[in-house]
Structure 1
Amino acid sequence: MSSPANRVVSIGLVDDSPRDRDHLRALLRHYEAENPVTLRISEFSDGAGLLENYQHAYDIVLLDIQMEGIDGMRTAAEIRRMDAGVIIIFVTKTAQYAVTGYSVQALSYLLKPVTSFALGSEMDRGIAELGRRERESILVGPRSAPRRVDIADILYIESRRHQLIVHTTSDDIAFNAALKEYDDLLEPRRFFRSHSSYLVNLRHLVAIDGEDSVMSNGDRVRISRSRKKALLDALTSYIGGRLV
């Protein structure tokens, strides 16, 4: 059982070689055993599988470059169209492909056959980057007196009578604004528009009870019927859907 101090990291592992997937999975499990992390690994045999019904659910994607069908570079380009925040680490047999990774903001690349040391080093870098991003903050509140709030501390944002209420772990901040202003900013950071009036942080969503999201502070946030399935899919992927 994971220690409460363990960090949960969602991994998308994409490689068309079953042998290479097995090898990378074994290295990831070894890394997990040696570090205070819990890895939720979702495996895909090609880029199309990852892209189908893509959710903002992965912290890190390990992506093979040379694959049949949609190759790794095309897959990464499509990911970037939908998700600016996920960390991409390319896996390749040939170092010449690594340079092109800059066009899709890849963190780095691993050269096959991947060693435990190399994967561990890149996982360390990726997790350090995740930690840095989680400390990102945004300005909320009236334009005359904005406040800086850590994104990780936002539970959900509510739209009510032409006002926004930002519910945080410490207090609520109300001001005049439109919820749409925060959609594009927060969706890549694991937020989900569960209702026309609510944008919820998946980190703080602890349960779905009927037509409500139950947040970590006990608040119940309404879910639109038309968005419930998509929310369930996003939450399942975030906590480790299709686990192996």
Structure 2
Amino acid sequence: MKQYRVAIVEDDKDYSEFLSQCLGKYGLEKEISFSIKTYGKAESFLDDYKKACDVVFMDVELGDGFLNGMEAARKLRAVDPTVLLIFVTNMPQYAPEGYSVDALDYCLKPINYNDLSVKLDKAVRVLSQRGGIPVRIKDRNGTRIVSSSDIMYIEVMGHDLMFHTISEVITSYGGLGERENELSGNNFARCSASALVNLSYIKGLYGDEIDVGGDRIKIGRSKKKAFMEQLNTYLG
């Protein structure tokens, strides 16, 4: 059964519990599951965030805290440009501002399950199109299986291959060219002789360097033209 990771940032416990119940009901109907974490303040959510969510439900009018939902969303986008963001609000005038942080949609309070299920259909459709392929990674303890969508980049370090995922760095071995062929068609591009990056995690371009998941990686001179063509195609 497919599982999606969801964060609910909502200072009203009743709404937070109701959203959790709706997600459970939707999951039973669609035969999927949700791993849910709830937060009452934007600060605690951002402090805990490790780029390991598929969907974030963000209350715009967070009351008890330094940040409101829109400010928190801007900070979230600075570290994760791809997570799906759905605003929860009782003030529809916030909807246009939500698109400035690339919100997928917004739910107007009081939330209706049928309306919410339409938003969830949209989110699941987008996530299914992003779905990666299983990647086998051998380390000293055995064989790990991770989704390609969770790999930010792979780099060569001496005789090792370092798989930088959203949650950890896995040390393995093998050729980077083999991994490039394996991940062809899954938004990966070779930016140098020693690095293969997931284009969806690129946060910025700075001269001959790119920011991938918060790490700076050099673009090799011989790879730059082909890499930039792939990046521009990915960005549309």
TM-score range, shorter chain: 0.5 to 0.7
Residue 107 of structure 1 corresponds to which residue in structure 2? 104
Aligned partners of 1:75, 1:54: CA distance in 2, in Å?
12
Aligned partners of 2:36, 2:182: CA distance in 1, in Å?
34
Aligned partners of 1:112, 1:80: CA distance in 2, in Å?
24
Paired residue total: 173
- 1:165 matched to 2:181? The reply is no
Residue 75 of structure 2 corresponds to which residue in structure 1? 78
Residue 48 of structure 1 corresponds to which residue in structure 2? 43
Secondary structure of residue in 1 paired with 2:28: helix
Are residues 177 and 115 of structure 1, via their aligned partners in 2, closer, same or farther at CA, if it must alter by over 3 Å? same
TM-superposed deviation, 1:28 = 1.0
TM-score by length of 2: 0.62
TM-superposed deviation, 1:169 = 10
Residue 94 of structure 2 corresponds to which residue in structure 1? 97
Match of 2:113 among 112, 116, 122: 116
Give the partner amino acid of 1:87.
L
Structure of greater relative contact order (alpha carbons < 8 Å, 6+ residues apart):
1
Secondary structure of residue in 1 paired with 2:37: strand
Question: 8 Å contact 1:156–1:168 — kept in the other structure?
Answer: no
Root mean square deviation, CA, Å: 3.6
- 1:128 matched to 2:125? The reply is yes
Residue 231 of structure 2 corresponds to which residue in structure 1? none
Residue 13 of structure 1 corresponds to which residue in structure 2? 8
The C-alpha deviation readout for 1:195-234, integer Å capped at 9, x for no partner, is x9xxxxxxxxxxxxxxxxxxxxxxxxxxxxxxxxxxxxxx
Superposition misfits of 4+ residues, deviation over 6 angstroms = 153-156
Are residues 155 and 114 of structure 1, via their aligned partners in 2, closer, same or farther at CA, if it must alter by over 3 Å? closer
- 1:24 matched to 2:39? The reply is no
Residue 177 of structure 1 corresponds to which residue in structure 2? 193
TM-superposed deviation, 1:109 = 0.3
TM-superposed deviation, 1:33 = 1.3
Give the partner amino acid of 1:125.
K
Match of 2:28 among 33, 39, 53: 33
Question: 8 Å contact 2:148–2:183 — kept in the other structure?
Answer: no
TM-superposed deviation, 1:15 = 0.3
The C-alpha deviation readout for 1:136-176, integer Å capped at 9, x for no partner, is 9xxxxxxxxxxxxx954979734045997166598599x85
Question: 8 Å contact 2:9–2:45 — kept in the other structure?
Answer: yes
Aligned partners of 1:54, 1:126: CA distance in 2, in Å?
20
Bigger CA drift: 163-172 or 108-117? 163-172
Secondary structure of residue in 2 paired with 1:52: helix
Are residues 166 and 74 of structure 1, via their aligned partners in 2, closer, same or farther at CA, if it must alter by over 3 Å? farther
TM-score by length of 1: 0.60
Aligned partners of 1:158, 1:96: CA distance in 2, in Å?
45
Residue 57 of structure 2 corresponds to which residue in structure 1? 62
